[in-house]
Each structure stands twice: as structure tokens, then as C-alpha cells.
Amino acid sequence: RTVYVNGEYLPETEAKVSIFDRGFLMGDAVYEVTSVLDGKLLDYAGHEARLARSLAELDMRNPLSAAELLEVHRELVTRNEIGNGLVYLQISRGSAGDRNFLYPDESVPGTAVLFTQSVPDLAMPPAAERGIKVIAFDDLRWGRRDIKTVQLLWPSMAKMAAKKAGCDDAFFVKDGVVTEGSASNAYIVKGNRIITRPLSNDILHGITRASLLVYAAEAQFEIEERAFTIEEAQAADEAFITGASTFVMPVIEVDGKPVGAGKPGKVARRLREIYVEAARKAAI
Ligand code: PLP
């Protein structure tokens, strides 16, 4: 696989980053994951805008211009012959060559790393047909979940706990209500109404969420932005999650209880179709 690191395209075995890089030592890095269908980037403008926001919130500069960023995405998709898959992008603050809690001088360049992952069945993975099972899990992440940092240890622990319980993922719970999934936004469905938490610092502002809510409103679904509990999710007609790598994924079980009929519902199925079709059309 060919990867990109700080201006160079290299075989993955030859790409190197300093051991003093603050992304490595302190989790001082932000990232984006953009999906690729038929060689084209989905929701690219949204990911680009969120990256700029994450960087600004951390006083970090992007070593790449907007034109370069798109160019690297496209070049990696081409060089690695990605039909369906993902482009991972990470920007860290770099390092002045030692360990220091204070940010280095602005003249110290950040580190930009991009690589692709091929996912041939991205458009219709088995999990989307089957639906996924989630456990409830205390949301013990830091308080700025709106910034897409690489501090992913708690989500990893949540996924491990889910796996141990024979499930696929987790719904994080804070103050008695669901915040989001471990790497996704969370929703429940009641009749024609889609219920999801409003944006705040408590959740990541999902790019798939933003697009889906527009498409769902156009398709005459009602949208209510409010928090919901685990019990409410268990009693809902349907539940689902969204994310750049999962699109719309039905949730068929929440903390040991089936949701609705315990199989993917018609609203989640329809929303998945709507999202994939519209996002494909707008792909660049
Ligand atoms: N919430 C969290 C915590 C995430 O990590 C992600 C994606 O990685 C999402 C939500 C979904 O965001 P997006 O639709 O932009 O992928």
C-alpha cells in the first residue's frame, strides 16, 4: 500500500514519524475518515470543514492547503486502486524534538499522514443486513467530544466490552441519557419520527448525521433533536447509528433487549438507501 506522510508518497513500510511527535506522546492530533464508493469521496466538503474546525479549536495549523488535501485524497485512491473503502487522515501538532506539555512554536510543522483502507463490501456489508447489537456503556470520555481527536482509548474499551458481551458496539450513556455510539451518532425511531441528540460539545458533529437529516427531512420524515434513554431505545420501533464507515446501520438489540421486532426495521433500511444514493450522487 502507498501512504502519504509529510509531502511524500511512500510504501507503508518506509513511512516514518518521529517518536517525539505529540500525536504519539500526547494524543495531540485530529483525524477524519472519508468513505469512498466507486473511487469517489463521499461528503468530502463536510469532512474538510470539520477538520478545519477541529484544528481551529486546538490552535493547530494544517500543513496542507485545501487543494493539496483533496489532491492527496484522490492520489491515494488512484494509486491504491480503491473502489470502495476509506481514506484516513491524521494531523498532529508535530514536535520540537523533545517531550513538553507546552505547544511548540508555530514555526514547528505539523505531521500529516493519510492512508487508504480497501472495503469492497462498504455499500452493503453483512452487518447492515443483520443489524448490530449494542451494550450501554458509561461515557467517560473527555468533555470536548465535538473535536475529532485521536484519543480513542475509551471507545476502544467500549468496543472490547461489547465484544466480550457478544455484541457489536456500545451506546455511551451520560447523565442517564445516550450521548452517541463508540464511533457513530445514535438514533431511535418512533413511527415516522427520527429522534437524535442535538449538537453540543458532548458529541461529535457527525458528517453523515448532517447529510442524513437533510435527506430524511426531504423524504418527509419528522426529525426531533433531543436526548433519549436506554429504556426509550429498547421500547422504540427501531434504532440505528450513522458514521462515515457505517452509513446507516440498524441496531436490533440494546443492552440485552430487542428493539422492535429484533431485526432491521423498514425506516433504517429506507434511510440507508436514501443516504447511499444521495451521497453517491454528490460524491467527488
Ligand atoms: N461520533 C463519534 C464518536 C465518532 O467517532 C464518529 C465517527 O468516527 C461519529 C460520531 C460519526 O461521524 P461521521 O458521520 O462524521 O463519521
Check residue 186 and give its pLDDT: 98
Q: Is 183 in the pocket of ligand 1 (CB under 6 A)?
A: yes
Ligand 1 pocket check: which of 140, 204, 248 to mutate, most ligand atoms within 8 Å of Cβ? 204
Among all chains, which residue has been given the C-alpha cell 487508504?
A: 116
DSSP structural state of residue 156: H
Contacts of 218 (CB under 8 A, 6+ apart): none
What average pLDDT score do residues 99-115 get?
95
In the chain, domain spans = 2-118, 126-282
Catalytic residues: 148
Tally the residues of the chain: 284
Q: Write b or e for each residue in 204-243: b if 16 or more Cβ atoms lie within 10 A of its Cβ, otherwise e.
A: bbbbbbbbbbeebeeeebeeeeebbebebbbebbbbbbbb
User: What would the CATH number be for the domain defined by 2-118?
Assistant: 3.30.470.10
Q: Is 159 in the pocket of ligand 1 (CB under 6 A)?
A: no
What average pLDDT score do residues 253-278 get?
97
CA of 184 to the centre of ligand 1 (A): 4
Q: Is 244 in the pocket of ligand 1 (CB under 6 A)?
A: yes
Three-class secondary structure of residue 225 per DSSP = strand
Considering the chain, what is the average pLDDT of its residues?
97
Q: What percent of the chain has pLDDT over 70?
A: 100
Question: What's the pLDDT band for 160 if we cut at 50, 70, 90?
Answer: very high
Domain 126-282 maps to which CATH number in 3.20.10.10, 2.102.10.10, 3.90.930.60, 3.30.2130.30? 3.20.10.10
Question: What's the pLDDT band for 165 if we cut at 50, 70, 90?
Answer: very high
pLDDT tens across 227-259, in order? 999 999 999 999 999 999 999 999 999 999 999
What is the Cα–Cα distance from 10 to 4, expressed in whole angstroms? 6
Ligand 1 pocket check: which of 184, 201, 207, 211 to mutate, most ligand atoms within 8 Å of Cβ? 184
ipTM entry: 0.99
Cβ pair 179, 199 in contact under 8 A:
no
pLDDT tens across 189-204, in order? 999 999 999 999 999 9
